[in-house]
Amino acid sequence: MKRRIRTVIGSKNCDDPVIDYKETEYLEKFLTPQGQILSRRRTGFCTQCQKQLKTAIKRARHVGLLPFVG
């Protein structure tokens, strides 16, 4: 039987402004303790919002605001 993951973290409307890489406290919610980006299934984001999230996290990692690992 397939296990259902009920924990959905995201709460973003697609009309909201683009996710900014400087909002590190917000972005940290979408990372695992190992620093991986959560899947769309876990975040509850639509495709476009998940893509924004991915870009913002990768930018934040580049400037050292978020870790690549751990």
Partner 1 sequence: MTQIYETMVLLDNDVVRADWKKAKAIVTDTVAKYDGKVHTCRRWDERRLSYPMKRKNRATYYLTYHEMPGDTISGFLRDLELNERVLRYMMLKVEECPEEERKLAAEEEGSDYEVPAPPEDDAIELPEEGEGDATMDDVPTDVPAEAAATAVEPAKEG
Collect all residues with Cβ–Cβ distance below 8 Å to 12 and sequence separation of at least 6.
19, 45, 49
Output 24 or 39, the one with its CB closest to partner 1: 24
**Start-end of H helices in the chain:** 24-28, 40-43, 47-62
Does residue 40 touch partner 1 according to CB under 8 A? no
Does residue 9 touch partner 1 according to CB under 8 A? no
Does residue 58 touch partner 1 according to CB under 8 A? no
Does residue 33 touch partner 1 according to CB under 8 A? no
Q: Read off the tokens for 44.
A: 């509850």
Binding site for partner 1 (CB under 8 A): 22, 59, 61-68
